[in-house]
Amino acid sequence: MAACTSTPPSSLMLTSASSSVHPPQDLASSLVSFKAKLQISTIKSFSSSNFLCRSRRSPDWVFLNFQRRARQHVIVAAFAAEANVAEVEAEEEEGVAAAPTATAPKPKKGKAALPLKRDRRRSKRFLEIQKLRENKKEYDLTTAISLLKEMSSTKFIESAEAHFRLNIDPKYNDQQLRATVNLPKGTGQTVKVAVLTQGERFDEAKNAGADLVGGEDLIEQIKGGFMDFDKLIASPDMMPKVASLGKLLGPRGLMPNPKAGTVATNLPQAIAEFKQGKVEYRADKTGIVHLPFGKANFSEEDLLINLLAAIKSIETNKPSGAKGVYWRSAHICSSMGPSIRLNIRDMLDFKLPSSA
């Protein structure tokens, strides 16, 4: 069996315990050429089991002694190892020569220097007003509403919005949330109501303040692309005919639905509620409820009353399949302003002053 002796990286030496190295000129040998990855080595054989080899990268000779049936494998292994060493040395030399000189990056200026990527797309107005609140701080209701009014700085009157993340998964039927809430102080918007009915209820709907009243003629207008209304209320006897409008009204959120209060037998009451500030809300596919609760020019007291009415409605209509903690987070904001995080415990326990 052959023994291995370590040599410099440029050569590989295998010696036999029972043999000695002889000068190559004393041997009657035959010449065999072997080409590796990066160099050509020479092998001289002088018996069936003894070989003498030398690499072109080193003047040292390597003596090999092994069984005849294994000699090809040993030769290949020896020169493959040497080729690998040479390749590593060459890569190191190239790496040192090609190493680029480190250059200091240019300092960023303006919005590009902001640490948060989302802030780089914000307007200067937004970046200024968001300094009025702490990013992750939870505020009580009165402080949050005061900040909302202070942050409303656009040229038009912004809406006040509430966004509640709930611990529900709407893909299950018992965890879906869709309902309405009557905002005591109104929404601050003018709602245009259209009514689909027939017979004696035509005059009843007109007298209640409906902006548009019709039957099959109004259905044909809607099929033709007429959508000049904010709410569409239908009497129950018209629903079979309204079914053909599902593809047009469904994506716009205008399809009459009993849960939304837009399918009603008492048309005057339904019209009055939507005119006075009845708001429909539903949880989106991520379990978040978005709803407006007034305008930024409302008084703080009116905004607080509307917000508490919305919170109470969501709590009352809690889905039967909701388990564990129902409220995960709550935020309010103006239409063009940053969000303000609410303290959940304070929000649920808040009581209006007796003067309100």
Q: Note the residue count of the chain.
A: 356
Over residues 160-170, the mean pLDDT reads 94
CATH code of the domain made up of 193-276: 3.40.50.790
User: pLDDT category, 127, cuts 50, 70, 90?
Assistant: confident
pLDDT tops 60 at residue 141: yes
Q: Indicate if the pLDDT at residue 68 is higher than 60.
A: no
Q: Is the pLDDT assigned to residue 67 strictly greater than 90?
A: no
**CA dist 172 to 177, 287, 325, Å?**
10, 11, 17
Residue 121 or residue 287, greater confidence? 287
**Is 90 exceeded by the pLDDT of residue 109?**
no
- Can you point out the beta strands (E) in the chain? 3-5, 13-15, 30-35, 40-45, 50-55, 61-65, 159-166, 178-182, 193-196, 212-214, 231-234, 278-282, 288-295, 327-334, 340-341
Which residue is it, tokens 């429909």?
280
Confidence (pLDDT) at 165: 96
Angle at 67 between CA 2 and CA 4, to 5 degrees: 15
- Which tens digit of pLDDT belongs to each residue from 291-316? 999 999 999 999 999 999 999 999 99
Query: Rounded mean pLDDT of 177-194?
Result: 90
pLDDT at position 342 over 80: yes
Q: How confident is the model at residue 355 (pLDDT cuts 50, 70, 90)?
A: low
Contact assessment for residue 232 and residue 201, using Cβ atoms and an 8 Å cutoff:
no
According to the model, what pLDDT value does residue 253 have?
83
Residue 195 has pLDDT above 70, yes or no: yes
> Band of the pLDDT at 171, cuts 50, 70, 90?
very high
**According to the model, what pLDDT value does residue 131 have?**
84
pLDDT of residue 87: 63
More confident of the two residues 134 and 101: 134
The more confidently predicted of residues 309 and 190 is: 309
Burial of 262 (0-12, 13-18, 19+ CB in 10 A): buried
β-bridge pairing 13-15 and 3-5: antiparallel
pLDDT of residue 353: 74
Which has more confidence, 85 or 174? 174
Q: Is the dihedral of CA 125, 128, 131, 133 positive or negative?
A: negative
**Which CATH number is 126-186+279-349 given?**
3.30.190.20
Q: Which of 224, 263, 261 is nearest to 243 (CA)?
A: 263
- pLDDT for the residue 32: 41
pLDDT at residue number 98: 52
Q: In angstroms, rounded to a whole number, what is the distance separating the alpha carbons of residues 2 and 65? A: 6
Question: 97 or 351: whose pLDDT is higher?
Answer: 351
- The total of other beta-carbon atoms located within 10 Å of residue 93's CB is 10
Paired sense of beta strands 278-282 and 178-182, if any: antiparallel
Q: Is the pLDDT of residue 22 over 80?
A: no
Domain chopping of the chain, boundaries: 126-186+279-349, 193-276
**Taking Cα atoms as reference points, which of 92, 317, 133, 66 lies closest to residue 43?**
66
Mind listing the pLDDT tens digit for each residue in 78-106?
555 555 656 666 666 666 555 555 677 77
Q: Is 294 exposed, middle or buried (0-12, 13-18, 19+ CB in 10 A)?
A: buried
Least confident among 19-23, 149-153, 300-304 = 19-23
Q: Check residue 309 and give its pLDDT.
A: 94
Report helix, strand and coil shares of the chain as percent, to nearest 5: 35, 20, 40
Q: Return the pLDDT at 258.
A: 87
pLDDT value at 226 more than 80? yes
Confidence band for 17, pLDDT divided at 50, 70 and 90: very low
Mean pLDDT on 197-224: 88
For residues 42 and 31, what is the distance between their CA atoms, to the nearest angstrom?
Answer: 7
185 within 8 A of 356, measured Cβ to Cβ? no
Mean model confidence pLDDT for the chain: 77
CA-to-CA separations, 157 to 221, 275, 310, 311, in angstroms, rounded: 33, 20, 21, 24
Whether the CB-CB separation of 213 and 206 falls below 8 Å is answered with yes
